[in-house]
Amino acid sequence: MDSPHPRLMWIMDDARQGAKQIAYQLAVSTDSVELSKGTANIWQTVKIVSDNNRVNYNRKGLQPYTKYYWRVSVWDQNSKINTSAIASFETGLMDKSNWKGTWISDNNDMNAKPAPYFRHAFDLTKKIRSARAYIAVAGLYELYINGEKIGNHRLDPMYTRFDRRTLYVTYDVTSQLQNGKNAIGVLLGNGWYNHQSTAVWFFDKSPWRNRPAFCLDLRVTYEDGTTETISSNKKWKTALSPIIFNSIYTAEHYDARLEQPGWSTAKFIDTAWKSVINRQAPSLNIVAQTMQPIRAVEKIPAQSIKKLDGKTYLFDLGRNISGVSSITVKGEAGTIIRLKHSEKLGKNGYADQSNIDIHYRPTDDKDPFQTDIFILSGKGEETFMPRFNYKGFQYVEVSSDKPIDLKKESLTGYFMHSDVEPVGTINSSNNTLNKIWQATNNSYLSNFFGYPTDCPQREKNGWTGDAHIASETGLYNFDGITIYEKWMADHRDEQQPNGVLPSIIPSNGWGYEWGNGPDWTSTVAIIPWNLYMFYGDSKTLGDNYEAIKRYVNHINDLYPTGLTTWGLGDWVPVKSVSPVEFTSSAYYFTDVNILAKAAKLFGKADDQQKYEALALKIRTAINAKYLNTTTGIYDKGYQTELSVPLYWGIVPDSLKHKVATRLAERVKQDNNHLDAGILGAKAILSALSDNGYADVAYSIASQETFPSWGWWIVNGATTLYENWNIQADDALSLNHIMFGEIGAWYYKGIGGIKVDPQSPGFKNVLLTPNFIEKLDHFESEHTGPYGKIKSSWKRESGVVEYSVTIPANSTATVFFPTGKKVSANGQVVSAGNGLKVVAGSYIYLVK
Ligand code: BGC
């Protein structure tokens, strides 16, 4: 990492009731042995009386290339000390002036198709203690040392606006180096840097586009304490690799006849290789990639194989994924195999891409959509798996120009995504509900590749609206903070001086013309706010503060009345269409409201006052124009129109119940089915369950006929779709996350695990379980910054047994549904205004 102030966090693992930290002491050292003996040469705090479990390293002077060891001692409620195991973090270059390498590439232009190899052989004469490889790349890469691929990341580095931010990745390569002769190899792919495929967003015309290039420092520390750096420079050699074409958007083509065995080993003779050229750095902002990498996280064997004709087979993975397929096959040299990936099948049983290739504008037939091409070397069994591409698919149609023999085991799928740790689980007595939850997670992960995307096939675009809608679902289920932190940096890189953001981020320039109103680009405020709520860490909110302010000020300049018509509105609705001005103004209000709260948090009193007033003005304008205070109906009274103001806090308190009742009635009128697009679907479930209508919310959430989440599932979905109508001609990707709020609602609306805005990061947990009549049991767990929170219940002979776990050093306020008798250990519990509980596990009986 390059951060001068890394955050140090710890969790108190103590199941005792009332377990709590009353003080802590931190120690940081470059010497782990000394640290284990109790001395720290870098930083040793005194005993600090505090229950904080996250501290930013706030000393000056972290050195580059240094491993820091740290540990924490914690005093519990009985003043007993516990000391953690030793943990560590390591700094990277810290400053761009530390780079020794030169940016290099081969001498081809951006239209050249084959991916380039680079190699360099060198001697290491002294005994090696440790070694690190630092590699910054414009494009994608794989790094090799002495013939071995380094690390298990895929599609590194993550996509950024390359001309504004360039990421570098660090590897510990101590064990790959040897005394004497060594060689290092780099294979470069195009990624988003050199987008050769042509589609409606014109990434082929990106301002940063160029032939991929890289800069590398291999820093070796010897036993005698001296260091030596092997760097990219004119001594390196280059040649073309067997990857004859690669596109992040479409596919990869590989000619195994062009393989050069041993190309990254010291023995390899590279006299036929060419000289490299020096290149300009893509940007001067070169920073460590401090985030979970993309990996091939799950291996998915083909479920079935069918021979469709003499030259074509069809593989079915049994589920829809983002990622790649790997094929192992034997055949004659020069045999051309095509692997066409699709989410669905046509009537004839062949792969059908008609729902996902609609925005693709190929200029010839050489770059077929989601279709890898593998040309065999003829040397026995051969395996191909693309390196610089991924797709969205369930089916792979494999055809060849000469007959080949394939069996089910010949093809395997790999589910790829940012490898974020799962932190939530849901289970219930309704299997459809459980499957919806899984499908939501599948779509969330399928759309998480170092930035959130809309879909893994048709676009792979960082659509802002889809991402803020899905962010709570994401944070309840996965520890994704590092990806969002990086994506918020992408926002700041992208923002115009006047505050405007594009609808897709990162962007090549597309998206400033269309789709970038507050209903989409509110990501700039909503995501930092959600990070603060879920992690209790206001860093990103602080980093984005000025960006939010500029954004909000700009809308205020354009729309001084408080109402804005800028936006797309309730996208992909079922039937009823709500006014764009209504939904966009609600998001505008939300951003200003977040800004006012952030101003308060950061002690900016003038801003607080200004933006509280602006928020009030917007809210008043929305209510004045759209709310009938007598009936409690907004506009025409559609589901979206009643849900959005309830969810985002626009309804006057005195009318909340009335509006919620109108919403519940409206849902009944709509036959307990949804009538909403993505903005309505974000709001409706919580709008109901937060206002006394959890069972109505459940009736929608558990529906199995059109239009509903369950309708997708009973029709075989393993991911969420883009359209309620599964026969739609348009907008029918089968892997979209924009209807994904339901994955968060299970925690909020049934389990009732909620953040307490007064005490974020689950320092105090709000528990508002809803014991849904139609469910026999429901289990929810979420691991937050203090540990695992559990909220589970089961019903037996009319009595609900409710089990709760609150992790050490945190508390909870439990709200039971009104009108219930609650007891614990045979004692009646009075839980009127919320029952305050300390850490520990509890069982309540609710009648
Ligand atoms: C994307 C959506 C996105 C929308 C914006 C679509 O093409 O797939 O998910 O939010 O455009 O309108």
Query: What's the gap in Å between 221 CA and the centre of ligand 1?
Result: 50
Amino acid 214: pLDDT = 98
Indicate which atom in ligand 1 lies nearest the CA of residue 678: 10
**How far, in Å, is the centroid of ligand 1 from the Cα of 620?**
30
| pLDDT over 90 at 58, yes or no | no
* 503 Cα nearest atom in ligand 1: 5
Confidence of residue 15 (pLDDT cuts 50, 70, 90): very high
> How far is Cα 432 from Cα 444, in angstroms, rounded to an integer?
18
Helices 639-647 and 678-689 pack at an angle, to 10 degrees, of: 60
> Which of the four pLDDT bands, split at 50, 70 and 90, describes residue 819?
confident
pLDDT score recorded for residue 43: 95
Taking a C-beta distance cutoff of 8 angstroms, is the pair 680, 672 a contact? Answer: no
pLDDT at 730: 82
Contacts of 617 (CB under 8 A, 6+ apart): 562
Instruction: Render the burial of 118-146: b for 16+ CB within 10 Å, e for the rest.
Output: bbbbeebeeebebbbbbbbbbbbbbbbbb
Q: Any residues with CB less than 8 A from the CB of 207 and at least 6 apart, and which? A: 163, 508, 509
The CA distance from 827 to 808, in Å, is 24
The predicted pLDDT at position 833 comes to: 83
Q: Which atom of ligand 1 is found nearest the CA of 736?
A: 9
Residue whose entry in the numeric block shows the structure tokens 């985002």: 648
SS3 826: coil
209: pLDDT strictly greater than 90: yes
Instruction: Please tell me the distance between residue 722's alpha carbon and the centre of ligand 1 in angstroms.
Output: 9
Please identify, by atom number, the ligand 1 atom nearest to the C-alpha of residue 520.
10
pLDDT, tens digit, for every residue of 122-136? 999 999 999 999 999
pLDDT at 61: 85
**Ligand 1 atom closest to Cα of residue 571:** 12
Q: Which atom of ligand 1 is nearest to the CA of 722?
A: 9
228-234 average pLDDT score: 98
Q: State in Å: Cα 456 to ligand 1 middle.
A: 12
Which residue has the CA at smallest separation from atom 8 of ligand 1? 454
Q: What would the pLDDT profile of 296-312 be if each residue is shown by its tens digit? A: 999 999 999 999 999 99
Residue 465 alpha carbon to ligand 1 centre in Å: 8
- pLDDT tens for each residue of 314-339: 999 999 999 999 999 999 999 999 99
Q: What pairing do the DSSP bridges indicate for beta strands 633-634 and 382-384?
A: unpaired
DSSP three-state, residue 96: helix
Enumerate the β-bridge partners of residue 235: none
For residue 562, how far is its CA from the centre of ligand 1 (angstroms)? 26
Residue 741 confidence (pLDDT) above 90 = yes
Using pLDDT thresholds of 50, 70 and 90, give the confidence band for residue 818: confident
CA proximity to 207, closest of 510, 513, 414, 423: 510
Taking the centre of ligand 1 as the mean of its atom positions, its distance from the CA of residue 538, in whole angstroms, is: 29
Nearest CA to ligand 1 atom 11: 463
The pLDDT, as a whole number, for residue 454 is 98
Q: Which of 360, 443, 461 to mutate to test the pocket of ligand 1 (most atoms within 8 A of CB)?
A: 461
User: Closest ligand 1 atom to the C-alpha of 464?
Assistant: 10
Task: State the average pLDDT over residues 406-425.
Answer: 98
pLDDT at 235 over 90: yes
- Ligand 1 centroid to residue 746 C-alpha, Å: 25
Per-residue confidence band for 771, with pLDDT thresholds at 50, 70 and 90 = very high
* Mutational pocket test of ligand 1: of 457, 513, 571, 682, the residue with most ligand atoms within 8 Å of the beta carbon: 571
Residue 778: DSSP 8-state: E
564 CA to middle of ligand 1, Å? 20
Q: Which atom, in ligand 1's list, is nearest to the CA of 359?
A: 7
Q: Which amino acid is at 727?
A: Q
Strand positions, DSSP E, 139-263: 140-145, 148-149, 166-172, 180-189, 213-222, 227-231, 237-240, 243-246, 252-255
CA of 452 to the centre of ligand 1 (A): 13
Mean pLDDT of 427-437: 98
Give pLDDT, residue 830: 80
748: three-class secondary structure by DSSP: helix
**Residue 699 to residues 236, 688, 692, 705, 775, Cα–Cα distance (Å):** 65, 11, 14, 11, 11
Phi, psi of 416 (to 5 degrees): -110, 145
Distance 732 CA to ligand 1 centre (A): 11
pLDDT at 420 over 90: yes
Kindly state the average pLDDT of the residues 727-747.
94
Q: Under DSSP, is residue 287 helix (H, G, I), strand (E, B) or coil?
A: strand
**661: CA distance to ligand 1 center in Å?**
32
Quick: pLDDT tens for 799-811: 999 999 999 999 9
pLDDT at 832 over 80: no
Q: Pocket around ligand 1: residues whose beta carbon is below 6 Å from it?
A: 454-455, 459, 463, 465-466, 515, 568, 571, 736, 738
Q: Atom 9 of ligand 1 has which residue's CA nearest to it?
A: 454
Percent of the chain with pLDDT over 70: 100
In this structure, which residue's CA is closest to atom 2 in ligand 1?
454
Look at residue 729 in the predicted model and tell me its pLDDT.
Answer: 81
Q: What is the tens place of the pLDDT at every residue in 99-111?
A: 999 999 999 999 9
pLDDT at 831 over 80: no
**Taking all residues of the chain, what is their mean pLDDT, rounded to a whole number?**
97
Please state, in angstroms and rounded to a whole number, the distance separating the CA atoms of residues 803 and 845: 9
Q: What are phi and psi of 243, to 5 degrees?
A: -75, 100
Q: Nearest C-alpha to atom 4 of ligand 1 is from which residue?
A: 463
**Does 790 score more than 80 pLDDT?**
yes
Which of 356, 466, 521 to mutate for ligand 1's pocket (most ligand atoms within 8 Å of CB)? 466
Whole-number Å distance, alpha carbon 729 to ligand 1 midpoint, is 15
Predicted local confidence at residue 119, as pLDDT: 98
pLDDT tens figures, 60-71: 789 999 999 999
